[in-house]
Structure formats: structure tokens, C-alpha cells
Structure 1
Amino acid sequence: MLSDSEAAELLSFLTPATRPDVKGRATEYILGLSGHRDGCRFLRSRPDLVAALLALTSDPSIAIVKDCFHVLINLSADETLHQVLVNDVGVLPVLLKNLVDPEYVFSDQICTILSNLSRHEKTCRTVFKVLQEQLGVAQLVDIFCTEGYNQKAKLHYLGPLLSNLTQLPEARTCLLDPDRCVVQRLLPFTQYQASLVRRGGVIGTLRNCCFDHRHHEWLLSDAVDILPFLLLPLAGPEELSDEENEGLPVDLQYLPEDKTREEDPDVRKMLLETLLLLMATKAGRRTLKDKNVYPIMREFHRWEKDVHVAAACEKLVQVLIGDEPEPGMENLMEVEIPEEVEEKLKEADAKEQEELQKEENSRSGPTQ
């Protein structure tokens, strides 16, 4: 790695006044450093270099700005650099200021950096705090949901950013405010075919929101009507009986022969997990049973080939067709599980995952 004198010389090249060709070679060199672990470790010890790169994101040279953002993406992918980027370099105010600019060329890169920085709870809290100070979650959702907000960027990675933010109860509270139409705006994106990243991010956000069981009745009510948006991606073209169709939400009735299901198994699993969370409360179970969810899940299970997704579907079906829990245990999220029982459940879950992996390996066959 560079000596202190070499690092100081490199830093002297990273100024707005430096000749563009010299500046460009310096940013290219740091980009190369950021591509491997030792280079990232070195840059972690030199926040002054990273701060200089952040300043150069306003350079007149597009090539230099592109290199600087590429470095920041690489560094933000390394959790050990998160505190340096957020606290020592102070990237968040600069990134968020540029993100809200509808003319900014590098907003997609900003979305990726923010998504990386918000993956882990500690830094996510800082991201959320600065976000609330500068624009707020509601405005972030507004930007995300406004088609063509930035003609030069797709902003798909705002989806994973929202998903990461909603690991925090305070972020979920902002989205689930009954007096503001925030979470409702995200619902149509559960079937957004142009981007798996955006679609998966929204479904992850909705799943996280469903951890707050006190909002389940509201989410399932006509005020939000979340259920059809979770079920439609799992529903296929299979013909159901008139009786089964009539019990379903209107959007799920008599689906066309060309109806396709969500293509990504991870997203299908998240949808099932969201439905299962909604069934943790008595009101949620009653609603899903009253809305005749079972036939959709029955046909989905027959169709599903991924063993992990099929297992998640089986758990959901067991709750759908099972008896109600005993009095005092209606809210499954509030039931206290004895420590020894919890250990046994963990062991059973680990064994189940092992069996599923074996089954998946046997299906895929030997590799060539």
C-alpha cells in the first residue's frame, strides 16, 4: 500500500484546481484500490482521500465524477467502511441533496450507495435520521412513485433502500401513518415488471411493515386493501370453481388464461412470508379465510418447483386450514415461547432446511 508521503501526494491531485488528466489518473488509481479488500482497508485508514473523492462528485468532468461514484459504491459495499463514510466523511447530506435534484445524472449511483449503507441496523439508523432531517420518508416515497421524476435515472434502488429502512420501527411508523397515503402508493409496484429490484424492494418493504401487528386490520381493510396486491403475483391461470371465484377479492376472480406468476423465487417467498405475518393475528386469519385465499395457495403449491418456496407455502396453508389457537394465544407475535421449546424449534427448523437442501440438490442432479 501507499506510504504516508505517497498518500499525501495522491491527495494533492484530488482537488478541483488539478489538471483534468492528472485528476483523472488519480481517481482511476483509487478506483482500482477500491476493487479489492486490501485497498478498501487502506482507504478506511485515509478518510481524507474519500472526502476528496466526495468533493469531486461535483467536478465538471463526467468521467471523473463517474469514477468517484464507482469508488463510493465499492466502499459502501464493505460494512467495515460504513462508519467512515457516514461519520468521518459525511456522505449522506451530499448524496441526499443530489438525489432530490430531478436533473442529476448520477442518482442511480446514489440510490445504490444509500441502499448499501442502510443494510445494517446501526448505519441504517443514521441514514434514516439524516433522511428525516433533509426530506423525510414520505418525500422519498413520492420520488420513488413519480414516473419520470428523473429522466436520467431509473431510481429502482430506492426500493431496496425503503426495504432496508423499514427494518426500523420508526421508519415503519412513517409509512403506516393512517392519516397519510404513503404505503398505499407502493402497492402497485408488487407487479412492476420492468424491474425485479424495484419490485422486490417494495415487497420487502411491505413484509417489514407487517411485523407491526397493530396495523394488520388497517392494512387488510378497504383503506389500504393490501391483500390483492400480495396475492395477484402468486395467482396463476388455473380455472377455479364459481364458488371459489366468488369468495375471492374481485381482482383475483376469473383470471385470464395467460396470467403468469412472479418469476423470482425469492420474491415469491417474501410474498408468502408477508401473508403469514398477516395471519399472526386473529383478525388477519379471519380476513384471509373469509377472502378465500386457500384455493389460490392450493394451485400455487401444485405449480411451485422451488422446495424452499413450497415449504413456506405449506406453512401458510397449515394456518389457513388449521384451528384457531387457544384463548390467550390469538396473537402469535405476542406469545412467549419457553427457552427450551425455542431451542427445539430452532433445531427442527435447521433440520428442515437441511432436508430441503438435500431435496433441492437431488432435483438439480449432479453438476457437470
Structure 2
Amino acid sequence: MPSELEELVEFLHHGNTQIRQIACENLVGFSISQPSLFKAHQLLPVRDLKLLAKDYAPIAKNAWTMLVNLSGDEEILKELAEDDAFLETIMNKVTNKKEPNANEITMLLANLAKSDSLKRIVNLTRSVPKDVSTSSKALDQLMDCFIKGQDGGINKAADSNYDYLAYFFADISKFEEGRCYFTTKQEYDGVIPITKLTVFTEHRSHIRRKGVASTLKNVAFELKSHPQLLAESEVNILPYILLPIAGPEEFSDEDSASMLPDLQLLPPDKERDSDKDIIVTHLETLLLLTTTREGRDLMREVKVYPIIRECHSHVDDEGVMEACDRLVQVIMRDEEGEGDAEAEAMEKARKEIEGKKDEEEEIVEVF
């Protein structure tokens, strides 16, 4: 005989709205503690939840919350991420200025990006959402939601800030197609997408800072993009990476005069990022950017070493200090007689960085 919980799960597709609502309310906690309950009958409960996500509130809110929690399961993730119709439902709701569950839906989208199948969103086109974006490309629309939607700028109904799209961008940028998108000027606004994200490396939202830092690092794995990333007239990535690493320390007049303008004469109350993992991520991005001789020379020219030296001295964290050490070894080494090819240097940097699990790879859960 089925247990009471199994019977409760079956009520998710009951014809009575009140019964569906009671089932949803009582099952939210079990979507974290017992995800196997929702895998019965070839994932029928998950398919029910996809339908209930379009139901009335509060049924829909609980359905989205459960889907966020359940998407940590590989089998359920596959069911959700490969469903084109469900992806359109997500896009339709994320770009709806009156969607009350936008926060939960962007959390789910961030989790779905763990699936390789979701890289198809890079080339996905759909109807243009009025007053949100002027582009028919799904990624452009999500970028516009992220940029315009901070601090409730788009969606007042849910008080949504679209912060979790930063985690989505981080995972999409792990794919070559995603990195290509972020470094290609888009036709609808003539802007390189990654330049829209760099300004958030010192944002007050921890989620935005974390996701953007990881996106920048992933894009830096694309060796051919390094000239564009470093060029002051294009992406100009260096100041945005260095500022979260920099503290209030004073430098010699000679060093300070050679630093990037944004790094000169920082105020005495300047603080480094409070998250040590984010600092490590930025240091790893810098390490990737030293792959080419041009990158190394630029970092020497703008006196990156003194900034890294002070970071090493003032941040009591083993991960930060190790990342500083790796970067300093590259910046300060003698270039004479160096025989490493750029591809070999990139591979070495990749191995050093990919040895640890990134925080952004963790599944988002709603408690």
C-alpha cells in the first residue's frame, strides 16, 4: 500500500484546486529531504509540478520552490532542462514584469544551466517582451532583465532583483557558445555583453558579485579573447578585477603613478571583497590573463604586483595566499629563454584553477 506521503504526492494532479494547494503546501519540505518521492511513475510528480507552476498563487509559488529544490537531482534536472516547452514557460515568466514568482524562477534557471543541454539557449529566439527588451534573442532578454531589473527596476510585483541570473550567466559561460556570446557585440544595442557585467564586481549584492566574478573567469579561458578583454577601448577588464582585490594601503609614488587610474589614490576606507572565494576567483582570472606575453607585460606595466603583494599580506586566508603566490610567480619571473607556448601556459593555468570545485557550481535551494 502507498504511504501517506506517496498519496499526498498523487494529489498534485487532483482536479480540485484546494486539494492541489494543500498537497503543494505540505510537500515543499520533502522536495529537499526526500526528492525520490517525486520520481515515482517515471517522474509524473515532476511533470505535475511543471503544470502547477502555471496554476494560481500560492500553488504556483510552492511548485516553483519545489522545482528549484528538486533540480539538484540529475534525473529530474534532465527532465526539466531538456523540455523546450518548459523553457519557454520560464522565459515567458522571467520577462513578465508582473510575474510574482520571478525570484524562484531565476533560481531554477540558474540550476538548469548545470545541464549541458541548456546551452541551446544561446541561439534561442522568441517573441520580444514589451518594455523589457528590444531583442528576440533569449540571452539578450535575460541580460536586460539582469541589468534593468536590479533593485526592483522591472518587476515590482515580486520585488525581484534578478540577482540569480548572475549564477546562470556563470554556468552558461562554461560553454564555448556562451563565452562567444559574452564577447560578441550584439546587434540590438551594439554592446559587448561582458561589459554590462563588469560593473557589478563591487556591487552590494553578494550573489551578483559572486556570479559575475565566475563569469569573468570563465570568459578568460577563451585565449583568443584576451586582447579584447584587456584593451582599454573594448572590455577593459583589469580595473574591475583589481578593485575587489585592492584595499586601502598606500603605495610608493612611482608605483601609484603607473597604476590604472581607478586604482590610484583609493580612499582610506576602501575594503576588499568580504568573500575570500570571490577574491580567489578574481586572482585566478588574472592568472588566466597572464597566459600571453602581452597580458603579463601589461600587468607589469600597470603595477599589478604591489596590489597582489598587499592582498597577500592583509588577507589571512590560505586559498587567497596560494592564489597570490601563483600569480606573483608568473608576473615576476624572467621572460628570457622562456619556451612555453601560450597554449601550454593556458593548459597549466587551467589545471591549477580547475582543481577545486567552484561555489557557483552548487545547486540553489529554497528553504
User: Does the CA-based 8 Å contact 1:96-1:131 persist in structure 2?
Assistant: no
The Cα shift of 1:291 comes to 1.0
Residue 233 of structure 2 corresponds to residue 204 of structure 1: no
Residue 172 of structure 2 corresponds to residue 162 of structure 1: no
The Cα shift of 1:229 comes to 0.3
The Cα shift of 1:198 comes to 1.1
User: Does the CA-based 8 Å contact 1:47-1:88 persist in structure 2?
Assistant: no
Task: Name the CA distance, whole Å, in 2 between partners of 1:89 and 1:184.
Answer: 29
User: Does the CA-based 8 Å contact 2:12-2:48 persist in structure 1?
Assistant: no
CA pair 100-112 structure 1, distance change in 2 beyond 3 A: same
Identity %: 32
Instruction: Say which one has the larger Rg.
Output: 1
SS of the counterpart of 1:287?
helix
Residue 16 of structure 2 corresponds to residue 23 of structure 1: no
User: Does the CA-based 8 Å contact 1:219-1:225 persist in structure 2?
Assistant: yes
Q: Deviations over 1:240-297 (max 9, x none)?
A: 1111111000000011111111110100000000000000111111111111111111
Q: Deviations over 1:151-210 (max 9, x none)?
A: 2212111001100111100110011115642111111100001x1111100010000000
User: Does the CA-based 8 Å contact 2:198-2:237 persist in structure 1?
Assistant: yes
Q: How many residues align?
A: 331
1:65 to 49, 60, 85: 60
Structure 2's unaligned 5+ residue stretches are 127-136, 357-367
User: Does the CA-based 8 Å contact 2:146-2:162 persist in structure 1?
Assistant: yes
Q: Deviations over 1:346-368 (max 9, x none)?
A: 9xx99xx9xxxxxxxxxxxxxxx
User: Does the CA-based 8 Å contact 2:256-2:264 persist in structure 1?
Assistant: yes
Greater helix percent: which structure?
1
TM-score when scaled to structure 2?
Answer: 0.82
Residue 88 of structure 2 corresponds to residue 93 of structure 1: yes
User: Does the CA-based 8 Å contact 1:14-1:26 persist in structure 2?
Assistant: no
> Which runs of structure 2 are paired with 1:1-368 in the superposition (5 Å)?
2=2, 11=10, 14=13, 17-20=15-18, 22-37=19-34, 39-40=35-36, 42-43=38-39, 45-60=41-56, 62-87=57-82, 91-119=86-114, 123=115, 125-130=116-121, 132-133=123-124, 134=126, 135-146=137-148, 147=150, 148-151=153-156, 152=158, 153-178=160-185, 180-193=191-204, 195-222=205-232, 223-324=234-335, 326=337, 328-333=339-344
Identify the residue that residue 360 of structure 2 maps to in structure 1. none
CA pair 326-145 structure 1, distance change in 2 beyond 3 A: farther
User: Does the CA-based 8 Å contact 1:324-1:330 persist in structure 2?
Assistant: no
Identify the residue that residue 360 of structure 1 maps to in structure 2. none
SS of the counterpart of 2:244?
helix
Task: Name the CA distance, whole Å, in 1 between partners of 2:61 and 2:346.
Answer: 51
Task: Name the CA distance, whole Å, in 1 between partners of 2:341 and 2:315.
Answer: 30
Task: Name the CA distance, whole Å, in 2 between partners of 1:117 and 1:189.
Answer: 23
User: Does the CA-based 8 Å contact 1:285-1:320 persist in structure 2?
Assistant: yes
User: Does the CA-based 8 Å contact 2:249-2:310 persist in structure 1?
Assistant: yes
Give the residue type in structure 1 aligned to 2:222.
Answer: D
Give the residue type in structure 2 aligned to 1:63.
Answer: P
Identify the residue that residue 358 of structure 1 maps to in structure 2. none
SS of the counterpart of 1:280?
coil
If asked which structure has higher relative contact order (CA below 8 Å, sep 6+), I would say 2
Give the residue type in structure 1 aligned to 2:323.
Answer: A
Structure 1's unaligned 5+ residue stretches are 354-368
CA pair 171-235 structure 1, distance change in 2 beyond 3 A: same
Task: Name the CA distance, whole Å, in 2 between partners of 1:208 and 1:262.
Answer: 19
CA pair 300-242 structure 1, distance change in 2 beyond 3 A: same
Q: Deviations over 1:4-53 (max 9, x none)?
A: xx76x9646525x5142x1212223443442324x435526443322222
The Cα shift of 1:98 comes to 0.7
RMSD: 2.7
TM-score when scaled to structure 1?
Answer: 0.82
Q: Deviations over 1:285-318 (max 9, x none)?
A: 1111111111111111110100111011011111
Give the residue type in structure 1 aligned to 2:45.
Answer: L
